[in-house]
Amino acid sequence: MAEPMMEIRALRKSFGGVVATDDLTLDVGAGELHAVIGPNGAGKTTLISQLSGALMPDSGTIRFDGRDITRMPPYARSRRGLARSFQITSIFPEFTALDNVALAVQAHDGHSFSFFRDVRREARLRDPARAALARVGLEARAEVTARYMSHGEHRQLEIAMALATNPKMLLLDEPMAGMGPEESGLMVDILKGLKGEQTILLIEHDMDAVFRLADRITVLVYGRAIASGAPEEIRASAEVRHAYLGEDETV
C-alpha cells in the first residue's frame, strides 16, 4: 500500500487535567474520505487544530505527505497543501465572496509583497477563484460582500477557500454545522463531488451525512479512538453503539 497522506502517531494533548487527545494514532490514505465522529467534547476540534497547527500537541507526531509537520506553523502547513475549514465560520466579512477566494489563491501564489498592481485585475488570481466558487455552487454570488451571505453560503465559501489553495488534503471541521436539511443536502453533494480526487478528513455531527460520504470512520471518545473502520463495521460495532450512538439508536 502506498504511504498514507497523513499519519498521526501517539498524539497527546491535555488542557490542565483534561486529556483532549489521548494517544491517538490514525492514518488517512491518499484519496480517502476519512470521517472522525464522536460526542461533544470528544476532542474533535482539538484534533483538527493540532493537525492544522493552531494548537501544538504535547507529544506524538504528525506526518503529512511524507514530512513531519508536528511543529510547523499553520501557514507553512497550508503552503505544503493542507487546507482547513473552520467549524465556526471564518471568512473575511468585508470582502466579496470572490475576493475571499482570490485571497486564498494569492496566498499560494508566492509572496504578497506586490505593492502596485491592482489585485482585482489579476486573472491568475480571479480565474482559479471563480472556478473554486463554481465548484461549491456560489458562482452567481461572486460579487456579494461576504457579510451579507447566508450561513449556508458561508460554509460553501469556506470550502471554496480551502479548495482554492489547491490542497493535497482538506481538513473539514463540521461543514454542516448549523445547517438546515436542504443546505446539508447541498453540502453532501459538494463533498461527494470532491470525493475521490481530494483526500479529506471530515469532522461531522450529521451522522446521516457521515455514513453516506465516508470511506472510513474513526470514533473518538474522550480523545481516544475507540474504533476505526468502514462505515458498515462502525455501524455494526457494539462498542460504538454503546459509547456514542446510543443503544437504541439505529443509523
Partner 1 sequence: MALLNARNLVVLATFALLALAPAYAAWVETPFYLDLGRRMMILAIGALSLNLIMGFGGMISFGHAVYIGIGAYTVGICAFHEVTSGFVQWPLALAISAAVALVFGVISLRTRGVYFIMITLALAQMTFYLGISLDQYGGDDGLTVYAPSDFAGLIDVDDDLSFYYVVFVLLALCLWFSQRLIRSRFGMVLQGARQNEGRMEAIGVPVFRYKLTAFVIAGTMAGLAGALLANHTDFVNPEMAHWTRSGDLIIMVLLGGMGSIAGPIVGAAAFLLLEELLSGVTEYWQVIFGPFLILVVLYARGGILGFLSRKDGGDG
What residues line the site for partner 1 (CB under 8 A)?
Answer: 52, 54, 73-75, 78-79, 83-84, 86, 90-95, 99, 102-104, 106-108, 112-120, 122, 145, 147, 161, 165
Helices (H) and strands (E) in the chain, counts: 9, 10
Q: Which region, left, alpha or beta, applies to residue 96 given φ > 0 means left and ψ of -120 to 50 means alpha?
A: beta
Nearer to partner 1, 79 or 212 (CB): 79
Nearer to partner 1, 170 or 209 (CB): 170
Please state, in angstroms and rounded to a whole number, the distance separating the CA atoms of residues 184 and 202: 14
DSSP state at residue 196: T
Q: How far is the CB of 175 from partner 1 (least distance, A)?
A: 15
Q: How far is the CB of 174 from partner 1 (least distance, A)?
A: 15
Nearer to partner 1, 120 or 212 (CB): 120
Query: Which residue type occupies 158?
Result: E
Please say whether the beta carbons of 36 and 49 come within 8 A.
no
Nearer to partner 1, 104 or 234 (CB): 104
Nearer to partner 1, 103 or 227 (CB): 103
Please report, for residues 40, 163, 172, the alpha-carbon distance to residue 205 in angstroms, rounded to integers and kept in the order given. Answer: 9, 22, 12
Q: How far is the CB of 115 from partner 1 (least distance, A)?
A: 5
User: Residue 20: how many CA atoms within 13 Å on its side-chain side?
Assistant: 19
Q: How far is the CB of 120 from partner 1 (least distance, A)?
A: 7
Q: How far is the CB of 122 from partner 1 (least distance, A)?
A: 8
Nearest to 166 by CA among 205, 125, 215: 125
Nearer to partner 1, 83 or 179 (CB): 83
Q: How far is the CB of 104 from partner 1 (least distance, A)?
A: 5
List phi, psi (to 5°) of 32: -90, 145
